[in-house]
Each structure stands twice: as C-alpha cells, then as structure tokens.
Amino acid sequence: MHRSVAHFAPEAGVGRVGQKKIIMDAKIWETWLNDWKWVQSCMKRKKCEVHDLVLEDPMSSSAIQSIKNKLSIVLPAEFVRVVTTFASGVSFLWYIEDDEKRPPAPYSDIFSGGADALWDAERLVACKETYDGWIKECFSDPSDPYDKVWHDKTPFLEVPNGDLIAFDVTAGDRNCPVVYLSHDDGELHGSRLGADFVDFVSRWSHLGCPGPEEWQIQPFHDSSTDNLLKSGPLVENWRKWLAD
C-alpha cells in the first residue's frame, strides 16, 4: 500500500458525542493532522525521540469489505468511511527516553505516544488473531463479568503490553463506543475511550495520543462520563507542559 497524504473528499462519516451529531469531514481531518503535528513539534523541542507522521492511502471499499468478510467482523460505519476516504492507516511515535524529562504528577507515568499506529486497516487481521487468542485461552466464558467485557468487540489497536483497544459492536455497525480491553485486571478494563471512532480520535489526538497503555491514558479518563477528557485543568495543564 502506498504512503502519502490522504486526499480530502466530500463523503462524510458520522460520530456522536452525547446527543450531538458530529460529521466527519475535511475540517475534522485537518484538526487531527494539526494535533499530530503539534505534539511532534513539542516533543522535538524537548529533544525526545520522534518518528515521522505517515499516512497510508485510503483503502477501496471492496478491500475493506474483503477484510470484514475474511475475519467475520463488524466494523463501525464511521471507521469504514475514514479508512476509505481519508487514510487507511496513520502512524507516528514520540518517546521520552530520559526519565528526567518525564512530566510531573499526575502525568509522571507517561513516556510515549502515538502507539506507532493510531489505526491501520491492514493490521486488523493481526488484531483479530490476538483477540481470538485471548478469548480462547483466558476469557471464553461470557457469563463471567470480566470475560463478558471481551465479547462482541472488534479490536483495531494492539497495546504493547498485550491489551487491546476495540469497538463495542454489540449494537451492530452504528453507535460503536471505543473501549479498553485489559488482559490483566487493569483499572480501565471495559472503560469507554470515546463515544465512537471519530470521538475517540478527536479526544486522543487533542491530548497528543499518550499511551496507548492504560496507565498513560488513565490520567485523562473521566469516570463520571466514562470517556476521555477533552477540556478542563487536567487537559490544559498537560498541553501546557507539552508546549513549554
């Protein structure tokens, strides 16, 4: 697959934040791009390790349908629209090698961001293999409260420690929250990271994409709304530290 800057197109994807409908369009895509480039520039000024932002060309509708059929998975409509209209994959990475450069509390466990790939349609196969392995070996009983969280999910992002970030597809391909799946009793297990894919990427990108391990994301998770914060002192102070 070719790597290039994805082309804008008028076709729209749909996301939801509460009852407010958000249309995925070129303006939101541009905001994402600006957020990714901004955190890269911040980390470069801090002389941290930064990998280039790479955008994979959009995937054809037939190609993503082939993946869905091969894996027998459900993919949210807004995710399909993003990967077929804007970019089939996005990757970059920042990493704080020197412990002395780590941010202060409550962000002191954060040392990286970008997850190498924020998403990549080509990696859905590997994500599904990991997911199926966990279901088979550890979480096979849907009547168990912990195991149940693992079921009816479509993973799209592998966390380096073995966890997964996934779509909750219980309701089909519409209104699919993004949730965290922990394999080791993590505190964020089953927690929502976005009302849907567009909401998740918007919130995570505004934060500079810390993580994706749960302890790097957790400072920004609001248990009262079961979502990532998008404003408030915790977000403002974090972005100020990034920019300093």
* CA–CA separation, 177 and 154 (whole Å): 11
Domain boundaries, the chain: 13-238
The torsion region of residue 133 among left (phi > 0), alpha (psi -120 to 50) and beta comes to alpha
**CATH class entry, domain 13-238:** alpha beta
Average pLDDT, the chain: 92
User: pLDDT tens for residues 194-222?
Assistant: 999 999 999 999 999 999 999 999 999 99
Sign, CA dihedral 124-226-34-93, equals negative
Supply the pTM of this predicted model. Answer: 0.91
User: pLDDT tens for residues 4-57?
Assistant: 433 323 333 334 444 465 779 999 999 999 999 999 999 999 999 999 999 999
- Residue 161, SS3 per DSSP: coil
